[in-house]
A and B are shown apart, each in its own frame.
Chain A
């Protein structure tokens, strides 16, 4: 079984300030890691993902996340936020292989973090 904990339900921040959204997970098998974003009145969109290779992954709009296996974390960071980054962010995990030796790609989501960027 897998679980995801997002440690902050709401994060208010001023424009151009740095931000970190925290995510910890637990799993009995190796996982893939994802961050999804949901802008107001829109559907979930994939922001970035870690599948393998470099533990630091980046999105096209300046966000980055680092996979830390020893701490079972996948925190999301941005050095300078914009008003347009206001949204709800979800961390999610997917099993690489389940006990049967297959992977169905089921996503287990955290509770979400609402990022509000103030002018």
Chain B
């Protein structure tokens, strides 16, 4: 079974530029999560989708971050414009359904460096 795929694996941009990350979840998984992991900290949930609808985006900085999950499969996370403090690893995860009993499977992450 293929795991969660993410691209690119690494990205370096200058502040005020825009950037986009892509995630392909495990086939059949209805729930998709984007987490931000700053160096030295644990991952923090940015947004959670159930199929193509948002169920939690309370910690997403909506003035610069946006995410979509068209057709309830792949998802993209965009930052525009980027700030220095956005340097982090962006993790995508998926699970069969929402709810804590459903194991979340994580992708390898995209490491973003903002200069």
Contact A109 B43 (CB under 8 A): yes
B40 to chain A, nearest CB (A): 7
From the candidates B40, B44, B55, B107, name the one contacting A109 in the complex (CB within 8 A). Answer: B44
Among A31, A42, A104, the most chain B Cβ lie within 10 Å of the Cβ of A104
A16-51 at interface with B (beta carbon < 8 Å): 31-32, 36, 42-46, 49, 51
Q: Chain A residues with Cβ under 8 A from B7's Cβ? A: none
Bound-state CA distance A94–B101 (Å) is 9
Contact A106 B41 (CB under 8 A): no
Check A117 for interface membership: any CB of B closer than 8 A: no
Bound-state CA distance A43–B56 (Å) is 23
Check A92 for interface membership: any CB of B closer than 8 A: yes
Q: Chain B residues with Cβ under 8 A from A104's Cβ? A: 48, 50, 55-56, 98-99
B1-53 at interface with A (beta carbon < 8 Å): 3-4, 31, 33, 35, 40-45, 48, 50
Check B100 for interface membership: any CB of A closer than 8 A: yes
A48-63 at interface with B (beta carbon < 8 Å): 49, 51
Contact B106 A109 (CB under 8 A): no
Contact B45 A107 (CB under 8 A): yes
Query: What total count of A-B pairs have CB within 8 Å?
Result: 68
Check B67 for interface membership: any CB of A closer than 8 A: no
Check B73 for interface membership: any CB of A closer than 8 A: no
Closest A residue by C-beta to B40? A111
Given contacts A104-B98, A106-B48, contact A43 B108 (CB under 8 A): yes
Check A96 for interface membership: any CB of B closer than 8 A: yes
Check B80 for interface membership: any CB of A closer than 8 A: no
Give me the interface of A with B, judged by CB distance under 8 Å. Answer: 4, 9, 31-32, 36, 42-46, 49, 51, 90, 92, 94-96, 103-112
Give me the interface of B with A, judged by CB distance under 8 Å. Answer: 3-4, 31, 33, 35, 40-45, 48, 50, 55-56, 91, 93, 95, 98-104, 106-109
